[in-house]
Structure 1
Amino acid sequence: MNPPILKHIIKSFLLILLISFVSDKLVFFLFNKISDQVYTGQSIGKVNHYLEIKDSLDFIVFGSSRANHNINPIKISENSFNMGMDGRKLAYSATLIKLLPDKKKQTVLLHIDPEYAFDTDYIGDDITALSPKYNRNTTIKNEIDKLGQNNILQRFYWSIGYNNAVLGIVKNYLQPNYDYKTYSGYDPIYVSDNQREIFENILNKGEKSKDCESQYTLNTIYNSYLDEIKIFCKTRNKTLILFTSPRLIDGCKDDNLKLKQILKDKNLEYYDFTDFLKENKNLDNWKDRGHLSDKGAELFTEEIKKLLK
């Protein structure tokens, strides 16, 4: 190839890289400015809310939807927050726990599900929901990198972290769903008569019984995070309590018993509430097999309140 032409191509390529790099940073700072004003919704708002108040809280609930919809923290402590989020597992919750202040005395109530704890395929991909904070928070960045859930381009093109959250952020920026200042993080599930009838029909059809596994091995990521948050809480004046939420139907107890033994061996305080409503046959307490309705959540919250006191 003609040297002058090759030189021109290289210059053009470098210019394009420079423009894309600068454009990325402009977009990144624009998204930062917008997202920092969002305190509602699960795209970024609830995390922003948590980051704003975390240092002043006395009691925080972490976990999946089975934490988010099942415990009303305000009935336990006025200075509390439910940081449970739909679809999140241990990597996400553990990372947020590690952002709590060093000295303040706090109670951390962390939900853990046996079926996920023993899922050998779990790779911690739920932590990618924190990607918008990747280049803004060292702890979050380190945890994402540690799990190999980082996009290598994100080190250079920072706005990539916003890819899956842009629509939710813009929507809640333009039209917040609620007043975050009166929001405790708890999202009760109100079940309509029609929804309850559909659920009853599903139950009446029955379901295939769940077969227990021949053996249960704790997922390596779960194992590491349990040890890490135990040390974190112990050295930073936190009381760590693990629990499993109620289920309407639990076809196998082997995983519950195995998890209970593992957590006992680790000297972690754990309560299995899977069968909490086993004797209460009222379906008004349920949204589905794994989630409580607002009525069931009230009963469960009272049980948690008794436990903590």
Structure 2
Amino acid sequence: MDKTNLKTTLKLIVCILLATFILDKVIYFTFNFLSDKVLSGQAIGKLNHYIITKDTIDVVAFGNSRTNRHINTQKISSSGFNMGVDGTSIAYSATLIKMLPKNKEQIIIVNVDTKNAFKDSYSGDDVNRLNVRYHRDKIIKREIDNVNLDDYIQKFYWSKGYNGKVLGILKNVFIPKYDYRTYYGYDPIYVNDTQKQIFQNYLKYSDPEVDCLDSYTMNSLYRYYLKEMKVFCEENKKKLILITAPLYRDSCKEDNSKFTKILKEIDIEYYDYSDLFIENNLMKYWKDEIHLSNEGAEVFSDTLQELLVTPL
């Protein structure tokens, strides 16, 4: 290739890159405009709802589906919000906690599943669920970068954060899933007769699984996030409480005892409710082995309310 053709090719490449860069930003800011109108649904709406209410709420619960489906924060405070999001873990929760207002008294409830704390495979990638705001929030950007999730394509093509979310955004813009003004983040599970029968058959014909880990050394990243939450809450007038929600049966208890011991050592308040229903394990309280029905969730929420009766 002669020099003339090389220069022409380079110019063409630069033009293509520039055009895609401009188009990407047009798409990005367009979807920012649309997504900011979404206040329903877990993908975007719940995060937006949290961002606009986080400075006024006085009780907030974090965690995965076992938070989202199990904790009615309205029983604890009329100014409570459940920020549980399915499929998330400690990195996601810790990042959102750091976005709370400084020097405002709040009760922070973080629901954790103890086995997850001892898994070597945990990499903090659940924080990537927040990448839609990577270029809009310095805390989210920092936390994503901190767990080595640097996505150099997204650094250049900002609209990549909306991949897989476009249909959900459009749907919730025009047909909101619920009225956010009466929604506080709590999504109880209402179990029908068929689901009850399926669970009963499962328990009848399946052997209880003994799912114990080979070792119990806490994942270093998990421990890091525990300490980060503790420091932030201590410095900003927040009461941090970790809990483990009920399980239908917990066949391996060593992770519970190890986790309890570690949290005592690092001085974090922790309550293990995994066996809350062990002496009164009514079928009506359960959807499956790890998820409570709406009836079970209300009983569990009453238990948390009794724990937190002391005002801020």
- The TM tier, using the shorter chain, reads over 0.9
Distance 1:26 1:208, change over 3 A: same
Q: Note the C-alpha offset of 1:172.
A: 1.1
- Secondary structure, aligned partner of 2:23: helix
- What corresponds to 1:135 in structure 2? 135
Aligned 8 A contact 1:127 1:149 in 2: no
- Secondary structure, aligned partner of 1:55: coil
- How far, CA to CA, are the matches of 1:287 and 1:24 in structure 2? 44
1:238 partner letter: K
**Structure 1 segment 49-64 matched on structure 2, within 5 A:** 49-64=49-64
| Per-residue Cα deviation, 1:57-94 (whole angstroms, up to 9, x for no partner) | 10000001111100111111000100001111001011
- How far, CA to CA, are the matches of 2:118 and 2:162 in structure 1? 31
Q: Note the C-alpha offset of 1:208.
A: 4.4
Q: Note the C-alpha offset of 1:5.
A: 1.0
Q: Does 1:258 align with 2:258?
A: yes
2:79 partner letter: N
- What corresponds to 1:228 in structure 2? 228
Q: Note the C-alpha offset of 1:167.
A: 2.0
Q: Note the C-alpha offset of 1:281.
A: 2.6
Q: Note the C-alpha offset of 1:20.
A: 0.4
Q: Note the C-alpha offset of 1:151.
A: 1.4
Q: Note the C-alpha offset of 1:212.
A: 3.0
- How far, CA to CA, are the matches of 1:237 and 1:278 in structure 2? 35
- What corresponds to 1:4 in structure 2? 4
Identity %: 48
1:272 partner letter: D
Q: Note the C-alpha offset of 1:157.
A: 1.1
Distance 1:6 1:256, change over 3 A: same
- Secondary structure, aligned partner of 1:299: helix
Q: Note the C-alpha offset of 1:116.
A: 0.8
- What corresponds to 2:17 in structure 1? 17
| Per-residue Cα deviation, 1:147-191 (whole angstroms, up to 9, x for no partner) | 122311111111111113222212211210100010010000000
- How far, CA to CA, are the matches of 1:32 and 1:211 in structure 2? 43
1:40 partner letter: S
- How far, CA to CA, are the matches of 2:166 and 2:207 in structure 1? 39
- What corresponds to 2:205 in structure 1? 205
Q: Note the C-alpha offset of 1:211.
A: 4.8
- How far, CA to CA, are the matches of 2:34 and 2:122 in structure 1? 33
Q: Give the root-mean-square deviation of aligned CA atoms.
A: 0.9
Q: Mark the runs of 5 or more structure 2 residues left unpaired by the alignment.
A: none
**Structure 1 segment 35-74 matched on structure 2, within 5 A:** 35-74=35-74
Q: Does 1:144 align with 2:149?
A: no
- What corresponds to 1:104 in structure 2? 104
- How far, CA to CA, are the matches of 1:167 and 1:78 in structure 2? 33
- How far, CA to CA, are the matches of 2:134 and 2:164 in structure 1? 13
- What corresponds to 2:243 in structure 1? 243
| Per-residue Cα deviation, 1:95-132 (whole angstroms, up to 9, x for no partner) | 00000000110000001111111111011111111010
Q: Note the C-alpha offset of 1:221.
A: 1.3
- How far, CA to CA, are the matches of 2:208 and 2:192 in structure 1? 27
| Per-residue Cα deviation, 1:190-210 (whole angstroms, up to 9, x for no partner) | 000010001000000122431
- Secondary structure, aligned partner of 1:56: coil
Aligned 8 A contact 1:63 1:111 in 2: yes
- How many residues align? The count is 309
- How far, CA to CA, are the matches of 1:167 and 1:216 in structure 2? 42
- What corresponds to 1:168 in structure 2? 168
Scaled by the length of structure 2, the TM-score of the pair is: 0.97
| Bigger Cα displacement from structure 2, 168-177 vs 256-265 | 168-177
- What corresponds to 2:183 in structure 1? 183
Q: Mark the runs of 5 or more structure 1 residues left unpaired by the alignment.
A: none
